[in-house]
């Protein structure tokens, strides 16, 4: 830190384990105010930036989107910190996480079954390769052809 208690972006990046471009991106998308500049035009970050960056990094590690992080920061900045509103954001995110976990469990099952069918590796016809070549429109649901998933469709 310099005499004013500010550090340059490189030191902030090293201190927090955050990529410099990520730090600049957070500034561009408005997750924090632009830092002061040195006489040479370098960004100089203070303690408030460090705290806010740690908040953002922890929220992103938990899978919160940039929009959700923005909302959480707005709520954190409010004097009364309305816990009920934070809870709404967290509950919605928790529901998304649970959906992703369910989707991943289905994908795991299908891949496990496919790998078991391909275990001997002697055939020239591969169900997994065929499934990947299928021309299906991507959507929110995970799907596999009947030959991969049996009679059950993946959801």
pLDDT tens profile 55-90 = 999 999 999 999 999 999 999 888 776 788 889 999
pTM as predicted: 0.68
User: Which is more confidently placed, 89 or 5?
Assistant: 89
Whether the Cβ atoms of residue 44 and residue 34 lie closer than 8 Å to each other: no
Work out the pLDDT band at 121, boundaries 50, 70, 90.
low
What are the strands of the beta sheet with 36-37, ordered from one edge? 7-8, 43-45, 36-37
Neighbours of 75 (CB within 10 A): 17
Whether the Cβ atoms of residue 133 and residue 145 lie closer than 8 Å to each other: no
Q: Taking 60 as the threshold, does the pLDDT of residue 141 lie above it? A: no
Query: For the ranges 24-28, 39-43, 139-143, which has the lowest average pLDDT?
Result: 139-143
């Amino acid at each position: 830190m310099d005499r004013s208690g500010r550090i340059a972006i490189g030191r902030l990046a090293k201190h927090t384990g955050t990529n410099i471009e990520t730090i600049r991106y957070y500034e561009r998308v408005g997750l924090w105010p632009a830092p002061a500049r040195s006489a040479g035009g370098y960004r100089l970050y203070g303690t408030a930036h460090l705290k806010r960056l740690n908040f953002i990094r922890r929220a992103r590690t938990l899978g919160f989107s940039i929009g959700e992080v923005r909302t959480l920061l707005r709520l954190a900045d409010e004097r009364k910190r309305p816990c009920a509103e934070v809870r709404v954001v967290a509950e919605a995110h928790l529901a998304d996480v649970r959906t992703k976990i369910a989707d991943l469990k289905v994908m795991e099952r299908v891949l496990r079954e496919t790998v078991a069918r391909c275990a001997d590796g002697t055939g020239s016809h591969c169900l997994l390769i065929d499934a990947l070549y299928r021309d299906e429109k991507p959507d929110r649901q995970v799907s596999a052809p009947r030959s991969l998933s049996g009679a059950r469709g993946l959801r």
